[in-house]
Amino acid sequence: MADAAISANAARNADRSPLPLRLAAGLVNRLVIIVPYLWLLFFFLVPFAIVFKISLSQSAIAMPPYTPVFDVADGIAAFFAPLRELSFDNYLWLTQDALYFNAYVSSVVIAGISTVLTLLVGYPVAYGMARAPASLRPTLLMLVILPFWTSFLIRVYAWIGILKPEGLLNQFLLGIGVISEPLVILNTYTAIFIGIVYSYLPFMVLPLYSTLEKMDNSLIEAANDLGCRPIGAFWKITFPLSLPGVIAGCLLVFIPAVGEFVIPDLLGGSQTLMIGRTLWNEFFNNRDWPVASAVATILLLVLVVPIMFFQHTQARSQEAGR
C-alpha cells in the first residue's frame, strides 16, 4: 500500500510539472527510441537496399561493373520504372550452379560444428567463472576479454605458426615423443574449427557467464537436500535456466561463422569451400558484382532464420515468465 501511495504521489507531481519540462521529457524519450532505429536504418537497411539493387542488375564492363537500376540520378520516376527492367537472372544462376549451393551447405555445416565445439568449451569456462569467488570473477572476466585487445588478424596468423608442420605444436609433440612425424593440421578443416572456436569463444562465454551468474544457487542446494545428485541437478536445474545464455551464445558464434572469410582463407587454404570466400571471389576476382550481391542477399536470408527463431524463443520465455 505504501509503494502504491508513493507511485501515485509521483504521478501527480509529474502531472503538475511545468509544460516545457514535460515536453522536453517526452522529446528525450522519443529520441531514445528513435536513435536505435535510425542506426538500423542507415547502417543496415540502406546498405542492404543497395546490395539488393545491385543483385537485380546485369554485369557490364564499366565502373562500377554493372548496369544500375533504380538510379537516383534519373529522378524519382526511376523508382517507378516498369518491372521488366528488373532482372532476377542472378538468382536463377545461383540455382543452376552447384558451387553456390555447396558453398552455402558447407558454410552452415562448418558453422554448426564450430558452434557446438565452442559451446562444449565455453560452457565449463563460464560455469567455472560463475562458481568462482566474487573477488576473483573480475580477473577471470578480464582474461576472457583480453584477446580482443589484440588484432584479430594477428591472432589468426599466430595459429599458422602453431599448426604448421614445423610449428610449435608439432615440435612440442615430437619433443615429448607422442608422434614420430609432424601432423598435417594446417590447411584442413581441423584448423578451421580450431581457429573459429578460439576466435569466437568469448562470444559464447560472456552471455553464458551473465546467465549463470544470476542463477539462484539455493535451487541447487534444495535439489541436493532432496537427494538429487550433482549431475542430475545440473541437467534439471542449471542447464535449463541457462538456456537463454546458450541460445544467445550460439547465435553470436553461428551467425558470423557462416560468413567467415579470414579464418578459412588463412587456416583452411585455398581449397576450402565457404560462402565467404565464394563471395570474395565473385566481387574481386570475377568482378561480377550482381552475382556477388545475389549471394550476399541469400546469405542474409539464411541468417535471418536463426535470428527469428531466437526472437520467438525469447518471446515464449517471457510469456512463460508472466
pLDDT of residue 118: 97
Taking CB atoms within 8 Å and a gap of at least 24, the contacts of 46-54 are 48/297, 48/300, 51/293, 51/296, 51/297, 52/293, 52/297, 54/289, 54/290, 54/293
pLDDT of residue 2: 46
When pLDDT is averaged across residues 86-112 and rounded to a whole number, the result is 88
* E runs forming strands in the chain: 58-59, 66-67
pLDDT of residue 83: 47
Q: How confident is the model at residue 202 (pLDDT cuts 50, 70, 90)?
A: very high
When pLDDT is averaged across residues 13-24 and rounded to a whole number, the result is 57
Is pLDDT of 53 > 90?
Answer: no
In sequence order, which residues have a C-beta less than 8 Å from that of residue 203 and are 6 or more positions away? Answer: 249, 252, 253
Count how many Cα atoms sit within 13 Å of the Cα of residue 300 in the half-sphere of its side chain.
13
Length of the chain, please? 322
Is pLDDT of 1 > 50?
Answer: no
Give exposure, 22-50, as e/b (b: 16+ Cβ within 10 Å).
Answer: eeeeeeeeeeeeeeeeeeeeeeeeeeeee
Is pLDDT of 34 > 50?
Answer: yes
**Percent of the chain residues topping a pLDDT of 90:** 34
Place of cell 583480453: 146
Torsion 79-41-300-196 (CA) sign:
positive
DSSP string, 123-142: HHHHHHHHHS-TTTHHHHHH
Give pLDDT tens digits for 242-279.
998 998 899 999 999 998 989 998 998 878 889 988 88
